[in-house]
Amino acid sequence: MDNDPTRLAFLICPVRGRDPRQYARLVSALEADGWAVHWPPRDTDQEDATGYRICADNRTAIAAAQHVFVIWDGKSQGVLFDLGMAFAMGKPITVIDAPRPTKGKSYQNMMRDWAARGPA
């Protein structure tokens, strides 16, 4: 299927200290399914002394996306930052991988609830 420009997605995933090829198979599968995926290790210039421009570039790409896919290792602060932007923009999400649910409040529980409910 050709990538339809209306099927824009952003993949939120850990970047720092990761092999950029780690999620390449997933990105290929999403693209084969018709999504035009913004994948930060590939599509956001990671050379930035403070991270400010990276966050601004990701904000622009998240704003353009119709859907956000999420992988969170339970540690990445960048993932949490990007998720906060996606939440503020009211983006629908699909949680691909995250820590196991907990009893009570937790970030992973909130993400799953958001994915099930749709954007606030």
Domain ranges of the chain: 8-117
pLDDT of residue 21: 83
For 8-117, CATH number out of 3.40.50.450, 3.30.460.80, 3.90.1420.10, 3.90.79.10 equals 3.40.50.450
**Two structure tokens written together for 85:** 């932007």
- Whether 120 has a pLDDT exceeding 80, the answer reads no
pLDDT at 4 over 70: no
The token pair at 94 is 């699909």
- The predicted pLDDT at position 18 comes to 79
Kindly state the average pLDDT of the residues 23-39. 95
Tokens at residue 44, please?
């956001």
- Does an H or E element contain 111, and which? helix 107-117
Which three-class secondary structure state does DSSP give residue 46?
coil
Neighbour-count burial for 75-101, b at 16+ CB within 10 Å, e otherwise: ebebbebbbebbbeeebebebbebeee
Closest CA to 58 of 37, 44, 41: 44
Strands (E), 13-102: 36-38, 67-71, 93-97
pLDDT higher than 70, residue 79: yes
Q: How many CB atoms within 10 Å of residue 108?
A: 15
Residue-averaged pLDDT of the chain = 92
Q: Is residue 22 within 8 Å of 40, Cβ to Cβ?
A: no
Range of lowest pLDDT (7-16, 17-26, 69-78, 85-94): 17-26
Give residue 1's pLDDT.
44
Segment among 5-9, 36-40, 76-80, 90-94 with least mean pLDDT: 5-9
